Structures are given as C-alpha cells and as structure tokens.
C-alpha cells in the first residue's frame, strides 16, 4: 500500500469514528428498510458479463451492512431483495442464479450472530426450493433475540395490501360475518395486522442505494410516516461512512407523523 493510500485510509477511519461518536443512541432508527439497488449496474459497469456477478457482490455486502446496523443498536432491518415485478420480468437464467444466491444468503445470515430471519413476501411466486430454504432458516432462528432481519423476497407493496384485504374478507366470512359488518370493522389497524409484516413495527427510515429516488412498490403501507434517504453508491459499493451519514441525517430530522 502506498503512503497516499495509507493516509487516505487513516483519514477515512478517523472521519468514520467521528461520525459514530456524534450519533445519539436514543435518536437512532429502530427499524430500517433498505432497498438494495444497483447490483446489476455494478456488474455492467465492470463489464463482468452477467448480472449474477453483481448479485453475488450485493449478497456479500448484506452481512456487512447488517453488522453496521446491529453494532449501532438498530433492532430491525427489512431488506428489499426481490420484487414481484422482478420475478415476472427478469430472464429465467438470471432468476435461477438469483434464487440460489438469495437462498445461500439467507442461510449464511441465519447462522451469524443471534439474528432472527423472517421472509416477507408472496410464497406462491417463489420456486419451492427457495421457499423451503427460507422456511428452514426462519424456523431455525425463530427463537433468536438479536437483530430481526426481514427478507422481502417476491415482495410487492400493492400485492401485499390486496392480499391483506382478501385475508380479512376470508377471515370475516369464516365467522359468518356480512359485508355490512365488515365495512363497519374495516380500519387501517386491521389492514396493517394482515400485511406480510403484521405485528411488526413500521420502518423509521428507508434507505435506497444507486441514486434512484423512488419506492418501487416497497412497503407502501408501512412507510406512510417513514423518513427517506437516498445514497448515490451502488449497493455493492456502499461504505460504512455512507451508512453513518444516513444515520446522522436521520437524527437531525424532526419527525412529525403528519402533525
């Protein structure tokens, strides 16, 4: 390593420590939603030949990112890894490789620290092999008490809301209820309880990498009062300093919750 690189690394480390020291634990988000974006672009910019190189680089970044969150005391992270639009719109070969990468990722982080892993998404759009791997990890980590990690795979916010309403109707019908009765009891809380994330807190902060500034059908219901932070870096290139800047920005905001 050259002297210039050594100096740069030293300055970077000092800046990172200063950012961390400036964060008040009480002001940090409890639940972070992360839209993992830019993996394919990362591979394309490096002329690596296939998107799987980018997906693997992104998968390698995930445990590192989760450690950053865990070490700061964040209690829950929801990672948007694969949307329902991705499942229906990506080439079959790319999806096959991606399903295997995601399954391996879930197994790896399910064996790391005391993290609790949960799949949130539509089971029916995923291949049985991947679903079995996710179910096994979820079962194995069910009693863990550390960082709660939601893996949004085969996930779509609009589909989630539609599924929640269908679930409410079916449940109401099974008890002999009528449409009139249902109209009286239908409420935001009831719908929220029937989402894939029912019973879990809404995200305080949603981060998206790659410079794109849109939700892309991620947690549309749950993010009604979330704060948003957009990072220019492609996900595999995300640095801890980028993450700490997002935390600093969040702590400086005044959350109004619509008031």
Residue 95 resides in a domain = yes
Q: What is the pLDDT of residue 1?
A: 53
pTM of the full structure: 0.93
Cα separation, 214 vs 166, in Å, equals: 27
Residue 130 resides in a domain = yes
| Domain with 201 in it | 36-251
Report the Cα 180 to chain-centroid distance in Å: 37
Residue 169 resides in a domain = yes
For residue 141, what are the CA distances in angstroms to 65, 106, 108, 137? 19, 11, 12, 6
Residue 111 resides in a domain = yes
Closest CA to 61 of 109, 3, 125, 95: 109
Residue 11 resides in a domain = no
Where do the DSSP E strands lie in the chain?
A: 31-35, 76-83, 116-120, 148-155, 205-208, 227-230
Residue 30 resides in a domain = no
How many domains are there within the chain?
1
Closest CA to 165 of 146, 150, 187, 147: 187
Residue 25 resides in a domain = no
Q: Directed axis angle between helix 3-21 and helix 240-251, to 10°?
A: 30
185-201 pLDDT tens trace: 899 999 999 999 999 99
76-83 sheet: strands from edge to edge: 116-120, 148-155, 76-83, 31-35, 205-208, 227-230
129-175 pLDDT tens trace: 999 999 999 999 999 999 999 999 999 999 999 999 999 999 998 98
| Tens of each residue's pLDDT in the chain, 259 residues | 566 667 767 887 888 889 989 998 899 999 999 999 999 999 999 998 889 999 999 999 999 999 999 999 999 999 999 999 999 988 899 999 999 999 999 999 999 999 999 999 999 999 999 999 999 999 999 999 999 999 999 999 999 999 999 999 999 989 888 888 888 889 999 999 999 999 999 999 999 999 999 999 999 999 999 999 999 999 999 999 999 999 999 999 987 776 6
- 37 annotated active-site: yes
What's the CA angle centered on 80, arms 89 and 209, to 5 degrees?
A: 95
- 202 annotated active-site: no
For residue 240, what are the CA distances in angstroms to 4, 5, 14? 21, 18, 12
Q: What is the pLDDT of residue 175?
A: 86
Cα separation, 213 vs 207, in Å, equals: 10
For residue 184, what are the CA distances in angstroms to 179, 180, 181? 9, 7, 5
Q: Which residue among the candidates 39, 70, 86, 150 is catalytic per the annotation?
A: 86
Q: Directed axis angle between helix 92-109 and helix 51-72, to 10°?
A: 30
Residue 257 resides in a domain = no
Q: For residue 126, what is the domain's CATH number?
A: 3.40.1180.10
Q: Are 105 and 136 in contact (CB under 8 A)?
A: no
Q: Are 12 and 43 in contact (CB under 8 A)?
A: no
């Amino acid at each position: 390593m050259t002297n210039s690189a050594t100096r740069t690394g030293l300055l970077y480390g000092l800046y990172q420590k200063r950012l961390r020291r400036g964060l008040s634990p009480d002001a940090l988000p409890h639940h972070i939603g992360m839209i993992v974006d830019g993996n394919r672009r990362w591979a394309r910019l490096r002329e690596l030949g296939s998107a799987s190189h980018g997906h693997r680089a992104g998968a390698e970044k995930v445990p590192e990112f989760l450690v950053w969150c865990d070490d700061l005391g964040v209690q829950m992270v929801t990672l948007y890894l694969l949307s329902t639009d991705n499942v229906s719109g990506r080439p079959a070969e790319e999806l096959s490789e991606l399903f295997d990468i995601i399954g391996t990722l879930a197994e790896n982080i399910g064996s790391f620290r005391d993290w609790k892993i949960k799949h949130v998404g539509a089971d029916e759009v995923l291949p049985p092999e991947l679903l079995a791997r996710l179910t096994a990890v979820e079962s194995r980590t069910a009693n863990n008490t550390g960082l709660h990690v939601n893996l949004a795979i085969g996930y779509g916010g609009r589909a989630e809301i539609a599924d929640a309403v269908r679930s409410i109707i079916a449940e109401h019908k099974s008890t002999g209820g009528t449409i009139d009765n249902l109209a009286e009891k239908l409420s935001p809380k009831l719908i929220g309880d029937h989402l894939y994330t029912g019973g879990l807190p809404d995200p305080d902060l949603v981060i998206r990498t790659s410079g794109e500034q849109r939700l892309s059908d991620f947690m549309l219901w749950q993010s009604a009062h979330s704060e948003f932070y957009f990072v220019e870096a492609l996900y595999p290139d995300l640095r801890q300093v980028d993450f700490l800047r997002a935390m600093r920005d969040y702590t400086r905001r005044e959350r109004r919750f619509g008031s």
